[in-house]
Amino acid sequence: MKCKTAKHQMALAVGEDLSPAEIQELQRHLQDCSNCQQTWEQHQRGFAVLQRSRTNETRPKYDSVWPTLSQRLCERDAAPQRGEFNGWIAALAVMAGCVVLFVFSIEDSPSLDVRPQRGVSSGGTMVTSPSNSGQSVKSMLRRDEVRTTQPYNAAPNVDGALRDPNFPVTE
C-alpha cells in the first residue's frame, strides 16, 4: 500500500468505515511507515475532537411540530384546490390571443406597392391630409382633375408641329 492510499484509508479507519480486510492491510502499512503512524495519531486526535463535541453538547428539547402541522394540513385540505390543468388553460388562452393579434396585424397592413403618398391622388380619389384641411374639397377635386388630364411633365406640342413632315415649311 502506498502512503497516499494509506492516508485516505486512515481517514476512513478512524471512524470505523473500513472493512476488516482493509484495516489489516492498513495495519501492515503502519507497522512499517513511521510517517503514516504520525498521520494516524493526528487523525485520531481530530476525530476525538469531533466525538467530544458531540457527546458534550446539550441536546435541545424540541416541541412537537404535529399540532401546528395538523392544523395547517386541515386548512390546506379545506381550501379549494386549483385544477390540475388551470395553468395550461391560461397558457393556451394567451397563445390563442397572440395568434389572433398576429392574423389581424397581417390583414390590416397595406401592401407596399399600392400605398398612396400623403396628399396625392390615387386612382382619381383624393387622399386628404391634415395639411389640406383648410382647403375646400371642391377646389381640391378640381385641381386633381387637371392633374389627371394634363400631367405636370407634359410639354406643349410646339416642337411636334415642326417635326410633322406634312407641315408646310415656310422660309
Residues that bind another protein (CB under 8 A): 7-9, 11-17, 23, 26-27, 30-31, 35, 37-40, 42-57, 59-60, 62-66, 68-70, 72-74, 76
Hey, what's the cell of 7?
A: 492516508
Q: Least distance to another protein from the beta carbon of 53, Å?
A: 4
Question: Closer CB to another protein, residue 86 or residue 111?
Answer: 86
Question: Closer CB to another protein, residue 31 or residue 135?
Answer: 31
Q: Least distance to another protein from the beta carbon of 89, Å?
A: 22
Contact 122, 116 (CB under 8 A): yes
Question: Closer CB to another protein, residue 48 or residue 141?
Answer: 48
Spatial distance between the Cα atoms of 14 and 6, rounded to a whole number of angstroms: 12
Spatial distance between the Cα atoms of 91 and 85, rounded to a whole number of angstroms: 10
Question: Closer CB to another protein, residue 81 or residue 139?
Answer: 81
Q: Least distance to another protein from the beta carbon of 25, Å?
A: 12
Contact 33, 3 (CB under 8 A): yes
In terms of residues, how long is the chain? 171
122 forms beta bridges with 125
Angle in degrees, CA 111, 114, 116, rounded to 5? 115
Q: Least distance to another protein from the beta carbon of 11, Å?
A: 4
